[in-house]
Amino acid sequence: MFGALITKIVDLLYPYRCLKCGKVLDSAGYLCDHCVDEINFIAPPYCAKCGTPLHVDNASNLKYCATCSGKTKKFYRLARSAVVYDNSDKNLIIAFKFFDKTENANLLAAMLKVAGKDIFDAGADLIIPVPLHKSRLLKRRYNQSAILSDKLSKMVNIPVDCFALVRHRKTRPQVEFSGKERITNVKNAFSVKYPDRIINRRIILIDDVMTTGSTLKECAVALRHAGAKSVDLLTVARVID
Ligand SMILES: [Zn+2]
Ligand SMILES: [Zn+2]
C-alpha cells in the first residue's frame, strides 16, 4: 500500500520509466542507459542485400555476405533488421508480443525507422504488416506488426495498408516448428485481397522477428504474384545462426 503510494508520487514527479527494467528516467525517453547499452544493434558492416552483419576482418572489401554473392536469387529486394535477436532484446519484444505492452510500439517503430534507412533511400510506396489469421486476431486483440507498421508509417510518411494482404489459412505458431516444418506450416497461407492496391508498388513488409524467414517469404511471394514491383523486409529483430 505504502509502496504503491510512493510509486504513484514518483510517477507524478518523474513520469518516465525505462520500458525494460522499470528504472525511473531523469528525462523523457524509453530506456535507461544501461538497457540501451545492452541492445545489440546491427551496425555497419553488414551485407548490402540481406543486412546480415559481416565479420569485420573480411568486411573491408566485401559488399555482400557469402549467400548473397552467390547466384541464388532472393525473393526480396533488401532486408534489414534493427537488432540481433538475443537475450538482451528478447524481453522487450516478448513483452510487446504477449503481455499487451503496446506502449513499446513507439520505441520499436523508431528502431525500424533507423534500421530501414537503406530501404527508404531506395524508395518505397507502401508499408504492409505480416497479417494474422482473423481467429488469432480475435484472440490476441491486436496484431503487433500492424501497430508497428502504423507508427512507422507516420514517422516516415509512407502509407500503410493492413488489409490488402491476408492470412487466409490458419497456421500453427512458427515457434512450434523448426526448419522444413516451418516452410510447410505457412505454405500458401497468404493471399492478396486487393491486388489493385499492390500492383506496381514497392512494398515494405513489416514483422517483429525474422527467424528462418519462411513467413516473410510466403507473404513476399503472394505480393509479387499480385503484381508488386518489389518487396523489402524490415523487422525489429533477426535470429542469426
Ligand atoms: Zn532499463
Ligand atoms: Zn547477404
Domain holding 207: CATH number?
3.40.50.2020
Let me know if 39 is exposed, middle or buried by CB neighbors in 10 A (0-12, 13-18, 19+): middle
3-state DSSP assignment of residue 90: helix
Distance 59 CA to ligand 1 centre (A): 33
**Residue 31 and residue 51 share a domain:** no
**Residue 179 and residue 156 share a domain:** yes
Count of domains for the chain: 2
Closest ligand (CA of 16): 1
| Strand residue runs (E) in 15-164 | 79-84, 126-129
pTM of the model: 0.87
Q: Specify the amino acid at residue 165.
A: L
Element at 207 (helix H, strand E): strand 202-210
Structure confidence at residue 86 (pLDDT): 75
User: How many degrees, rounded to 5, is the angle at CA 147 between CA 76 and CA 126?
Assistant: 40
Check residues 100 and 112 and name the one with the higher pLDDT. Answer: 112
Instruction: Place 97 in a pLDDT band, splitting at 50, 70 and 90.
Output: low
Separation CA 121–CA 235 (nearest Å): 17
Closest ligand (CA of 19): 1
Separation CA 232–CA 203 (nearest Å): 6
**Residue 87 and residue 48 share a domain:** yes
pLDDT above 70 (res 179): yes
Q: CB of 203 within 8 A of CB of 232?
A: yes
Closest ligand (CA of 50): 2
Residue range of the domain that includes 28: 1-38
pLDDT above 80 (res 169): yes
Mean pLDDT score of the chain: 87
Structure confidence at residue 92 (pLDDT): 72
Distance 79 CA to ligand 2 centre (A): 9
**Residue 93 and residue 65 share a domain:** yes
Distance 116 CA to ligand 1 centre (A): 25
Distance 42 CA to ligand 1 centre (A): 20
Rounded to 10 degrees, the C-alpha dihedral 218/223/228/230 comes to -20
Instruction: Place 6 in a pLDDT band, splitting at 50, 70 and 90.
Output: low
Cβ count within 10 A of residue 40: 17
| DSSP for residue 7 | H
Separation CA 25–CA 36 (nearest Å): 12
Distance 25 CA to ligand 1 centre (A): 9
**Residue 7 and residue 60 share a domain:** no
Distance 234 CA to ligand 1 centre (A): 25
Span of 30-39, 104-113, 115-124 with lowest mean pLDDT: 30-39
Span of 38-47, 87-96, 175-184, 203-212 with lowest mean pLDDT: 87-96
**Residue 21 and residue 49 share a domain:** no
Structure confidence at residue 190 (pLDDT): 96
Handedness of CA 184, 73, 224, 106 (dihedral sign): positive
**Residue 186 and residue 138 share a domain:** yes
49-57: average pLDDT: 85
Structure confidence at residue 161 (pLDDT): 98
